[in-house]
Structure 1
């Protein structure tokens, strides 16, 4: 069963009624379990009958639903809980196609995902979104797609491979797997009443679908209230209790994320556990998870366990990644609970706190057992032009990364992007940097912590290279790390302590068609090939994760001690999250949404 072949509730209703009444047999009956009802936060010794991919009967005795061909599964005292839902995530951040992402997370109990493919939208436009949508429709789980809203995320401050228009949004709203509008990142535009942003939100509202939010600012004054008035219904950019409280007080859902590098649950969930606010307005999500996290640590089961460890009642936490999510997207009658008519998504687990995922059903079929996928996740045929997207004009040389100093200067005061561990925001720093032979240099090789960063244009072969500085990674030897995953415009980000190796890394990615690579000591130490849009691999998650492990080890060997620092690397061009970022147009002050000078002048 797939979303494409799953019958609608009305189409299946006659069969479900007959089974619940005992006039027809179910496909599957689960007995001997403790059924968790998220609508009431009860755990009952009930039984469940399933047919046509949906729950037909949920009650104390399903024996009247059993026929000669019915599969009867004894849960053996385990808990029967709804399949987990990820309310906000980006498939591309896993470096995987939708099929391989699903194959990685289904064994962890994730049966529904709400994904915003704005990464591929920046590279391939509406066509890229359609490719993601089409692959999602053929999977043995529910992968809903949000139509990306902001490509570019900040018009006038970056150049993307393609732009998303209100007409694109209106067209996508008619596709069967589109559930709403992806995160509205251009929050200054919304607050200012930008006609394009308003048109996209209007097209979504007219289709009766949900508008996703992204308010990445600590300012909770009039700008925040203006943003909420525009229509975004949720937000995942909060980092503290005050943020969470402010959002739910305005009728938004607070989405608290635990991704590979975003640890924002513990600091916000106190709004429920200590302040006592209504938990139905709080939702758990991942936002960005790398393949290594998915393979080694888990997905929404990891987030659920973390929320419980932060003091949240297990049944409340379970609501936050099941029924709360479904309700938010207008799908409460479709998924998120074990109740008649809903999609038959469930997990068998022996503990509500440790949450071992022992068996998984999605859309009425058993799809995983004891961490092993038992269903197929078919790929679409990704076209050739989706695999040829690194359009650099030429190979680069060390001179492309030179930063001229003010005439006659021995030192220069530079604006520097400051990386913050485990968070998406950066700090706007200043550093007095050395000048050698008329060029401003980083100081990472001389006892400091400032490296060079470059944004290499890769969509239109302009040959453009924007140079700046970044601090916080800890690199302390000659090296360079390059990536064509560069949220959200997805040019190429190169961070390094040696200009010659920065050129080697960029040229290597040009040669392989995209990915991530690290050079140290003049040699390639790690390479993850991402041939699809320079963002994704259609190899299995375990293979990508193994290469990611090599990358992480190479980063540590080069001096980096941050947790999952590659995520910070990949977001250094995200010009809608404060405070300081880089784009193909220059250095961006995200507190004022304006380009700023790299070198301060007196």
Structure 2
């Protein structure tokens, strides 16, 4: 409950004591860009005074001892499910990293369970000291017609979200950028429904420029978190977008443009997706702040981009700064360049003290339906075959990865054809085979080829696969691939590594095939073991877990694989895996 005006004024006049006084801190003012020594007084959930408060007594005095006092970080674009943690478990880690407010786009669980999944996530976040605001997902499936999911969103569904979940305050990222730019009635109706409900509308427009980008902005989509270059940053700022920069978009050139931007109140630092290993090993929004500063971003700007700018994007007038009347979400850090809270308050309550998490969190369970989302039949080795025309060789469309980025290329490559079990089969060794099985009851599946990871043995399977979260299998041979897929079908979802007919590692994700019930430290150990086994079998990528989960994302350029086939993302079309062309 918000502190009453009477209590605030009485505390300022010394009628009663402050609840908390933080004394002797270097207060970072995100409004004027200054850092000044001083005190901050808190009553209830509000900051009531800033400056020299030596004349005011407090029930609890805390001493900054020259540490920096920052607002709690505000993450204006993220997905809770990317951590694979239950919301309470995620909150503990994020708060320990200084994040006190976030806007969660639950399109991961909505792809699996629809509005019931979003409702379950909202209920699981209630009562947490992490302030979780929620979007209505806009683009499910992310590429209509190119993939199958467990739910579908149109304008009428957006209105159902608005009526059924009053906690929703934004429309989640509009990923069907081609549909918007071409005037597709379905996605434009979704955008109009979001605006009609008075929501902020988030965008995903990294591949758009010029007149198409202007169309995206003109229909009322006001942000982009996929800005790939300094040039695009300048273009979007000039068009009135809020530009949300995630860690993978940071570069020296980007940071230079961020330093030079004037005005800069529409630049935010965000996390988007933070896989568990990154969250636990590197941090949350504090890691993005530190990385940006290391690349040359002015530290005060970095703090502002991660606090008040995000709050203003979310229309939160009393969040993101240290000033009278603002919400008492505060963090005391040793090093402004590598911030991690020594002390953290959320709503005026101590959450982190002496660098340790000290707050009890409510634990809420998900409904039974969340544990029954594997609507797919067992598969066989035959399901992984790529049938080809008779002859010695065939030409296939393959997906090329460079092992570093998540942007792939579409290439044509020749493979031999063998006769097996009465069928002509493309023999793609030493390249990697990828298969996607719809796990929402449609019965569709597709098989493709990944070039750039030769000689991989065994198989890796996952049900966490952006954004439709179908069952995805990467295999060096069909027998291990079938075992990996059937293992996840049996346990209700997760990730596993298989080699020579044996399951080497299994991480269970029983909640919608996305989330674990394990504590973060336990889950991290399981995921680290899983990835170690995968690397030993030859799976290689700079960010291997993200690679496994993103290769089925049909809006991620240039080529991906869905349950319906090989996706040419930029041209928004399905392509045959077997091209029918002669060898060149």
TM-score bracket for this pair, using the shorter chain length: over 0.9
The equivalences for 1:353-372 within 5 A come to 353-372=337-356
Q: Distance in 2 between matches of 1:536 and 1:376?
A: 21
* 1:204 is aligned to 2:194: yes
Change (3 A) 1:514 1:21: same
* 1:37 is aligned to 2:29: yes
Quote the residue 2:97 is aligned against: 108
Quote the residue 1:571 is aligned against: 550
Q: Does structure 1 retain, via aligned residues, the 8 Å contact 2:41–2:53?
A: no
Q: Does structure 2 retain, via aligned residues, the 8 Å contact 1:347–1:360?
A: yes
Quote the residue 1:299 is aligned against: 284
Decide which moves more: 312-321 or 164-173: 164-173
The equivalences for 1:126-525 within 5 A come to 126-173=115-162, 175-217=165-207, 219-258=208-247, 262-273=248-259, 275-331=260-316, 333-393=317-377, 395-408=378-391, 410-437=392-419, 438-444=424-430, 450-460=431-441, 462-472=442-452, 474=453, 476-525=455-504
Q: Does structure 2 retain, via aligned residues, the 8 Å contact 1:434–1:443?
A: no
Change (3 A) 1:350 1:493: same
Residue 422 of structure 1 deviates from its aligned partner by 4.9
Q: Distance in 2 between matches of 1:245 and 1:412?
A: 46
Q: Does structure 1 retain, via aligned residues, the 8 Å contact 2:154–2:189?
A: no
Change (3 A) 1:93 1:356: closer
Change (3 A) 1:88 1:13: same
Q: List per-residue Cα deviations over 1:344-375 (Å, max 9, x = no partner).
A: 11111122113242121111111123543211
Q: Does structure 2 retain, via aligned residues, the 8 Å contact 1:126–1:164?
A: no
Q: Does structure 2 retain, via aligned residues, the 8 Å contact 1:454–1:493?
A: yes
- SS for the counterpart of 2:129 is coil
Q: Does structure 2 retain, via aligned residues, the 8 Å contact 1:136–1:144?
A: no
Residue 266 of structure 1 deviates from its aligned partner by 4.5
**How many pairs does the alignment contain?**
576
Match among 592, 596, 601 for residue 571 of structure 2: 592
Residue 441 of structure 1 deviates from its aligned partner by 2.2
Residue 521 of structure 1 deviates from its aligned partner by 2.9
* TM-score between both structures, scaled by the size of structure 1: 0.92
Structure 2, gaps ≥5 residues long: none
The equivalences for 1:49-68 within 5 A come to 49-61=41-53, 63-64=55-56, 66-67=57-58
Q: Distance in 2 between matches of 1:475 and 1:334?
A: 54
Decide which moves more: 113-122 or 95-104: 95-104
Q: Distance in 2 between matches of 1:475 and 1:287?
A: 31
* TM-score between both structures, scaled by the size of structure 2: 0.95
RMSD between aligned residues: 1.8
Q: Distance in 2 between matches of 1:420 and 1:285?
A: 25
Structure 1, gaps ≥5 residues long: 1-5, 445-449
Q: Does structure 2 retain, via aligned residues, the 8 Å contact 1:257–1:265?
A: no
Match among 528, 548, 552 for residue 549 of structure 1: 528
- SS for the counterpart of 2:120 is helix
